[in-house]
Structure 1
Amino acid sequence: MLATFSLAGTARAELPAPADFSVSYYVTDESGEFVRPMVERDFRYATNRARCECGQRIGVQIQAKDGAEFDSSTRIQAFLGTKCATAESSPPGQFLPCGVLADALVATFVQGVMGAFHPAFLASGVDPASPSRDVAGADTILGSACSDKVAGQTSLWLCDPAANGTANCQPDEFFYGPDGALSQLSGVPSILYDFQPPLMEVKELTVEPADGGVVLRWELPSSGDIQGFRVLCEEAATGASPGLDFPTPELGEVPGTDHYFTAGNLCGAQPFSTVKTAPADVTDPDTCGNGVLEAGEACDDGDDNGPEGLCDESCELRVSPSLHALDWDHVCSDHITFRGTDVAIHGLENGKAYNFVLVSYDMAGNPRVHDKVVTATPDGSLPSPDGGLEGISGEGCACAAGESGGAGVLALSLAALLGLARRRRR
């Protein structure tokens, strides 16, 4: 049912109340089509870095409610971003101008405004040099996108740009948004976005061989932001996945449980939508270890580069490209709770060396790989992996374990990696 209005004919009405508008958000598919309304778990956990890098758009519908009173000439502007009320009235600085979703007369909002936007608009403002601020515009340039240092929450912002007689939206003309400084904002839903991997780091990762598997152990600090762990593995000599069957997370799955998400696993080399961003400043270009993959480098994990890491001091891979990319085909453990400090891995071939890495992830499903590769060779003369967890691996049992970072990984070309089929079990 369409909203109906009593239009003021002589004097301009005061700012609308947030309750005069209904704002609904939707989960979308690869094409940006609305699939279902967002629920609490979507608002809290779904907007992670992988979905931002894949450009899985967020749908929104703005509907003026029955009984609201507006002047027929009222024009409403809808923005997406952080601190939009502040950014609109200040020179570009800490908060860049927000993206514009709609700019229309009340009559348009009576009919309802629908759109979909790239998740990056929640966290990043529009570059001052951008020729457009339209969230659907191909020439809109953001200040940044999907940065792994960004987390926060925000929502749609609405303003009446002519309420105080001054051109453009001023802070006192915003009537809907997540900012507590705005009046009467109870009930405004906010979307939490989290592009950061876990901040907490595990320590002392070790591996012991067993019959048809291995046992991994690690130490945890007393507190942190880890939701769980997975172990990934590969054949040390070839880089091949051992082929253990752990279904890949689906696009519509909500994190906060037992998965991590990467863009490679969700959308492969073909994002669903993209945004333009201003060139990033690199303070030390063409330097191995700066965390930026540059010409001539097979990898660059920044501070995690090292002789035991997935990427060495010369920015050469010590594991296969697919394992380095945390491809879900390499998963060889089920979900391990955030309190876990050990795990038994089954289904491996005795006499064959395997590399193992430990991946932690937060409630949003953002992964962080531990910066140490460990290697071991399952041995049929040893106890089972479950026996190792019971503490029966005695003196001499660890002597069959390989040194950290085993040798002989397969040097797959980038083209070959991109050609790998992305598994989607439905």
Structure 2
Amino acid sequence: MAGPSTIALALATGLAREAAAAEPPTGSSFDIWYYATDANGDRARLFSDTDLAGFVNRARCECGQDISTKVLLQRAMTSYDNNVRVQTFIGSRCDVAAGSVNPQAKPCVRVLSSSPNAYTKAINFSFDPVWLAGGIDPNGSQEIADAVPSGSCTAGQGDAGIWVCIENGMQPECQADEFEVQGTQNKNASASSMAQGIHYDFEPPQTLPQSFSISAGDGAIEVTWEQIATGDVSGFRVLCADENGDPLPGKGIKAPSLTGINRGTIYFTKENLCPGGVFAEPGSEDTTTGGSDGGSDGGSTTTAGELWEGMELVVDPDPFAATGSSSGTSGSSGTSGSSGGSGSSGTGTDTGSTTLPSSGIESLDWAYVCTGHISGTSREARISGLENEKPFQFLVVAYDLAGNPIAASDVLIGTPRETLDLWEECEAAGDICGNGGFCKCTTDGDRDDDRAAWSLGLLALGAWVRRRRRA
């Protein structure tokens, strides 16, 4: 039987072997998921490839629509070295800013600093989209609960995401070469797609059509334009208003689902997306982890984590295809371009860099939308169901894949006109088509002259009718 000294030696040997086997985690051992959230900040569904490419826009940033995130460290066959510090950040090029003395390189905001053990139980947190676009104010805290963003929601586009630094203990803070996860790693991207982070886009399209023209038809208006290049325009919508600047009855669109998959078929503004105010302010994020080891948690709360297992990718039908009545702000709007039956206008004002009017058609309220999605390569739009002899206002809005809008045209004025059929046109032209609706009988002496006059008149009338109907 082994003596106490033998048992003690065996235990010590086992502990030494376990300590020797403990290793730091690697970047490939981390699984990361992103989720869309509702107005209450609750998880709604898992991001898809489409969401990674075009969900985050200026309006969602201004409304504070959080992105929910889960970071899980896979358990290893051997234990992880819990003396290693694992830090999680949000942003773009966090490695460049780490330890940099360049004031232009803003450090990324830090979500958590803890041991590997906390990550094996999963950490779940939400963050404001503004953290994707810029780092922190270096004069303040780096922790997400207290940090002040150096960027804003008004400009910029790029790719960002979760960055994970695994410290090697050589320096007191994360260094550039210690970032094992660099923003593009996640479980949302399909196996067939390239590694990608979250693309944020806070800017409207820059390449816009020109030379807008408007022409009248029977109960309809046609707007045409010239395409210089499609650029980053995903599509167009035409907005309509009556002569007082109020939305038209029966037009407008219903508010799309806040968490629906964005397919680049509708635009968003802060006033449309969150008319009641922002959903959350930067710095209000809450972090839950799977446990505490007594280390710094980056200013986050540490509670029993939830793994959120069983979440499935929800493929919605196009949530922006439905049209119908829409409640919206109405009011008068000035016109910067006008037309009676037809006319032309230049390019509109860049609404992406200015504050939109609070009312009227130039507010881009969804209540004014009177067409479906128009392809970004199209050159015309037709609006029907309008009352003849009444002037209406029209505005062409262009938007990119993320849904950032810009008024591409000035406000146009058009008045639909009644279009007569062939026999009404004949009567208006002197009854040249005859009483029976075919030809008018003449005496033998007048037959040749009348035939020539009738033929010329009918040819001219036909050409005129074709022009009218084309409008």
Q: TM-score range by the shorter chain?
A: 0.7 to 0.9
- Residue deviations 1:373-422, cap 9 Å, x none? 11011222479xxxxxxx96738998xxxxxxxxxxxxxxxxxxxxxxxx
Which residue is equivalent to 2:408? 370
SS in 2 for 1:394: helix
SS in 1 for 2:98: helix
Which residue is equivalent to 1:76? 86
- Residue deviations 1:207-228, cap 9 Å, x none? 1122222110001014411111
> Does residue 239 of structure 1 match 2:248?
no
- Residue deviations 1:77-110, cap 9 Å, x none? 1000111011111125333111111111222112
Seen in structure 2, the aligned counterparts of structure 1 residues 319 and 267 have a Cα distance that, compared at 3 Å, is closer
Of the three residues 135, 144, 147, the one matched with 1:125 is 135
SS in 2 for 1:44: helix
SS in 2 for 1:344: strand
- Residue deviations 1:161-180, cap 9 Å, x none? 3x142111001211111389
SS in 1 for 2:467: coil
Which residue is equivalent to 1:283? none
Of the three residues 379, 391, 394, the one matched with 2:467 is 394
> Does residue 271 of structure 1 match 2:344?
no
- The structure with the larger Rg is 2
Shift in Å at residue 253 of structure 1? 2.1
Which residue is equivalent to 1:155? 161
Which residue is equivalent to 1:26? 35
> Does residue 226 of structure 1 match 2:233?
yes
- Alignment-mate amino acid for residue 217 of structure 1: T
In the TM superposition, structure 1's runs of 4+ consecutive aligned residues that sit over 4 Å from their partners are 6-15, 186-189, 307-312, 317-320, 395-398
Which residue is equivalent to 1:288? none
> Does residue 258 of structure 1 match 2:265?
yes
- Alignment-mate amino acid for residue 109 of structure 2: G
Alignment of 1:28-43 (within 5 A): 28-43=37-52
- Residue deviations 1:141-163, cap 9 Å, x none? 11121123x111122001123x1
Which residue is equivalent to 1:98? 108
Shift in Å at residue 309 of structure 1? 7.7
Shift in Å at residue 140 of structure 1? 2.3
SS in 2 for 1:51: helix
**Do 1:234 and 1:323's aligned partners in 2 also have CA atoms closer than 8 Å?**
yes
**Do 2:161 and 2:184's aligned partners in 1 also have CA atoms closer than 8 Å?**
no
**Do 1:78 and 1:157's aligned partners in 2 also have CA atoms closer than 8 Å?**
yes
Distance 1:8 1:206 in 2: 80
Which residue is equivalent to 1:52? 61
SS in 2 for 1:358: strand
**Do 2:207 and 2:229's aligned partners in 1 also have CA atoms closer than 8 Å?**
no
Q: Provide TM-score, normalisation by structure 2.
A: 0.66
| Structure 2 residues without counterparts, runs of 5 or longer | 1-14, 186-192, 284-332, 337-344, 422-463
* Root mean square deviation of aligned Cα: 3.4
Give the total of aligned pairs.
345
Seen in structure 2, the aligned counterparts of structure 1 residues 160 and 320 have a Cα distance that, compared at 3 Å, is closer
Shift in Å at residue 124 of structure 1? 1.1
Q: Identity over the aligned pairs, expressed in percent?
A: 31
SS in 2 for 1:355: strand
- Residue deviations 1:5-52, cap 9 Å, x none? x99854696653222111111111111111111111111111111111
Q: Provide TM-score, normalisation by structure 1.
A: 0.73
**Do 2:80 and 2:117's aligned partners in 1 also have CA atoms closer than 8 Å?**
no
Which has the larger helix fraction?
2
- Alignment-mate amino acid for residue 53 of structure 1: E
- Alignment-mate amino acid for residue 172 of structure 1: D
SS in 1 for 2:281: coil
Distance 1:98 1:339 in 2: 39
Distance 1:318 1:54 in 2: 15
SS in 2 for 1:352: coil
